[in-house]
Structure 1
Amino acid sequence: MINSLLSLCKKSSTIWKNVGATLVIFLSVLADARAATVLIYHHVSNTMPASTSISPERFLAHMDYLEKNNFKIVPLTELTEKLRKGDVLPDKTVAITFDDSYADVYTAAYPVLKKRGWPFTFFVNTDAVGSGKLFVTWDQLRDMSKNGVTIANHTTAHNHMVRLNKSETQSQWRERVTGEITRAQEKIKQEIGSAPHVFAYPFGEYNAEVKQLLKKLGYVAFTQQAGVLHADTDLQTLPRFPFGGSYTELNDFIEKINTLPMPVKKVEFYADKQRKLDDMVVKAGDKPYLILSLSDNSLPTKVNCFSSNEGAINTQVIDGKLWIQSKQTFPQGRTKFNCTAASNQHGRYYWFTQLWLVTDKNGNWTYQD
């Protein structure tokens, strides 16, 4: 009798352990799924600069994949409102965006999306609108707006926001940049009738001060850093997956559209193992660290990171945090660290990208694109 009872207890214990393990996996998958993906395109064309273009054929293939695989296409503002409120972001939810006021968005992309009844957001630099055959007109933007397209702020002149003009003080810079944002917002509202407080950084460039400025003005702001929206995303550095140049093939699109958010709790920057940085702006010749604190303690050892300048880079776990450093010093310009890790869901990867902005060795910007 006693042996039978002991045997039953062991079986019950095993059953509950299995149930517990299954519940943990289920809750993990559920948490991962509370995310949404934002896409960014520039040109939809075979004749515009290749680095920022996707062919109409490949763009159509992207949209066909979304339709055939039951992705829900929603307005970008729907996602930002959910983020503001802390609401759940349903899995397989996508918002589509375009940057830079190009006319081929109206002639090549808009008909494809209008036919499906899909909303999208067009971030326009207002000085360019109506300025020549490469750019949309206000009449074209009004036409799109009547059919579910959101027209949003990309500043007036599409300048490098983080860079002070020569001989410009910090106070003058702040006044100038605030003016570029505010005038663009007012112009969109005047021409379209409404202007949501969503913003896209020109060139995808930002720093701590630009972020704070956008926050003070009441905007949520989008980068060109690859990644997925989720509840813990910083509202002034919202990620988007860019598709242009060599990143337009369908297989690449499929992998990215199915990614999950890296569960990042905190992002830090260090000049070396001791000196913390306030920002992600560094000098040419530096080799700084990106430090990620993850909510899943099992992940840090599984993460692989790559630099846009050199491929695979160094990672190590120190006191539970992931320390990431390139093997080579940074060249002047823009550098991105892309970090991924396999998830519990077949074929789906966690993804996080961090931008670095690199001045010359003296801390000065080169005034070129």
Structure 2
Amino acid sequence: MNYLMRVMVAIIAYLALPASAAVVILYHHVSDTTPKSTSISPAAFEAQMDYLAQNNFTVVPLLELTEKLRKGEPLPDKTVAISFDDSYASVYESAFPRLKKRGWPFTFFVNTDAVGTGKIFVNWDQLREMAKAGATIANHSSSHTHLPRREGSESAAQWRDRITQDINNAQQKIKQEIGTAPMILAYPFGEYDVDVQRIAKKLGYIAFGQQSGALYGKGDLQSVPRFPFGGSFTALDDFILKVNTKPMPLTDVEFYGDNKQKQENLIVREGAKPWLALTLSDDSLLKKINCFATGQGAITTAVIDNKLWVQPNKPLGAGRTRYNCTAYAGEKGRFYWYTQQWLATDKQGNWTYRD
């Protein structure tokens, strides 16, 4: 290949990379007195909002980004949508006044059974007040159950009916109380598998997890990433790193068992070491990507047949594990980012609730 051809190939590869870098950020409690694992202090929240305001980020309604995703339109760079999960009162008490003062929109995903049930949760009058001020009130299921997990001897059909009804009940309640209910869904605990995604797609939702990453126009509309902030992830430097990320330029994502036998689902047994295989639009990134697993630090990567193969160093424990893969994006302080979630039952195939 002569020099001119190499230059042309490089240009084409560059143009194929996603130029956009819209990010959705996620909070639960905004309070100094709620459980630390899911909380950010009002002061830390304010500092993060100040960073966005002072560094030329545009805060837009989440629905604006989801419509662009649905239509396959380009996503604007340095754009952020703000979201909250779980119906917590601290969103109304601490976050809402701060965002209202700035004139910034946000989305509040509410599990409707909890609304109005105690001081820790918002009530419908508060949700209507926020909606009138420009907030979007959206579906987080009615019961806040782990959607992929079967109950006892429940059949697949019974499970599908239960989950479908749980999502439908929340949507109907939001429409009844607020007047409108957008077709967006946040999975409780951020947990989903292929079957949950199929239900969300059949019902017509764009659905969000809690796995990290920037939005990607070619990504799965039933596993849209968000960066969660709370607990040990509240430091401003961590926030700055994440809101400046770009989507990993992927063309394909595949899942394999320990023996590299291809599989479809994201549920494995405790003790498994499943492989993730990534195909990128820019092969030059393959050897530049570093991957990490929950509780394991850096994990195994290998480039085989122009794919990045990723496997944990240790067997997965029961519950949820995420693989995080990043690479320098060629701009100071900016990285490509992709996260994949796995769910593991115990060795007998039973669900545990250690998250």
- What 5-or-longer segments of structure 1 have no aligned partner? 1-12
The within-5 A match list for 1:348-363 is 348-363=334-349
1:77 corresponding residue in structure 2: 63
2:294 to 308, 320, 329: 308
Cα displacement (A) at 1:33:
2.8
2:150 corresponding residue in structure 1: 164
**Alpha-carbon distance between aligned partners in 1 of 2:68 and 2:121, rounded to the nearest angstrom:** 32
SS at match of 2:127: helix
Structure (1 or 2) with the larger CA radius of gyration: 1
Kindly provide the amino acid, as one letter, of the partner of residue 71 in structure 1: F
2:192 corresponding residue in structure 1: 206
Quick check: 1:115 aligned with 2:101?
yes
Kindly provide the amino acid, as one letter, of the partner of residue 84 in structure 1: R
Structure 1 vs Structure 2 CA RMSD = 1.9
Q: Is the 8 A contact 2:318 2:354 kept in 1?
A: no
Q: Is the 8 A contact 2:148 2:191 kept in 1?
A: yes
2:19 to 17, 33, 41: 33
SS at match of 1:301: helix
1:6 corresponding residue in structure 2: none
Q: Is the 8 A contact 2:280 2:286 kept in 1?
A: yes
TM-score (norm 2): 0.96
SS at match of 2:76: coil
Cα displacement (A) at 1:367:
5.2
1:87 corresponding residue in structure 2: 73
The within-5 A match list for 1:131-170 is 131-170=117-156
2:314 corresponding residue in structure 1: 328
Kindly provide the amino acid, as one letter, of the partner of residue 317 in structure 2: P
The within-5 A match list for 1:249-328 is 249-328=235-314
Distance change (3 Å), C-alpha of 1:206 and 1:103: same
SS at match of 2:272: coil
1:10 corresponding residue in structure 2: none
**Alpha-carbon distance between aligned partners in 1 of 2:324 and 2:354, rounded to the nearest angstrom:** 25
**Alpha-carbon distance between aligned partners in 2 of 1:367 and 1:237, rounded to the nearest angstrom:** 21
Kindly provide the amino acid, as one letter, of the partner of residue 287 in structure 1: K
TM-score (norm 1): 0.92
**Alpha-carbon distance between aligned partners in 2 of 1:355 and 1:86, rounded to the nearest angstrom:** 24
Q: Is the 8 A contact 1:35 1:231 kept in 2?
A: no
1:345 to 327, 331, 337: 331
- What 5-or-longer segments of structure 2 have no aligned partner? none
The within-5 A match list for 1:172-191 is 172-191=158-177
SS at match of 1:132: coil
Q: Is the 8 A contact 2:212 2:228 kept in 1?
A: yes
Any runs of at least 4 consecutive aligned residues in structure 1 with deviations exceeding 3 A, and if so which? 16-28
SS at match of 2:114: coil
Q: Per-residue displacement from partner, 1:45-86 (whole Å, max 9, x unpaired)?
A: 111111110000000000000001111111101101011111
Cα displacement (A) at 1:91:
0.1
Quick check: 1:236 aligned with 2:222?
yes
Kindly provide the amino acid, as one letter, of the partner of residue 333 in structure 1: G
Q: Is the 8 A contact 1:288 1:325 kept in 2?
A: yes
Q: Is the 8 A contact 2:14 2:282 kept in 1?
A: no
The count of aligned residue pairs is 354
Q: Per-residue displacement from partner, 1:260-311 (whole Å, max 9, x unpaired)?
A: 1001111111113441112111111111111111111111111000011210
Kindly provide the amino acid, as one letter, of the partner of residue 153 in structure 2: S
Distance change (3 Å), C-alpha of 1:113 and 1:170: same
**Alpha-carbon distance between aligned partners in 2 of 1:147 and 1:279, rounded to the nearest angstrom:** 41
Q: Is the 8 A contact 2:85 2:110 kept in 1?
A: yes
**Alpha-carbon distance between aligned partners in 1 of 2:64 and 2:348, rounded to the nearest angstrom:** 43
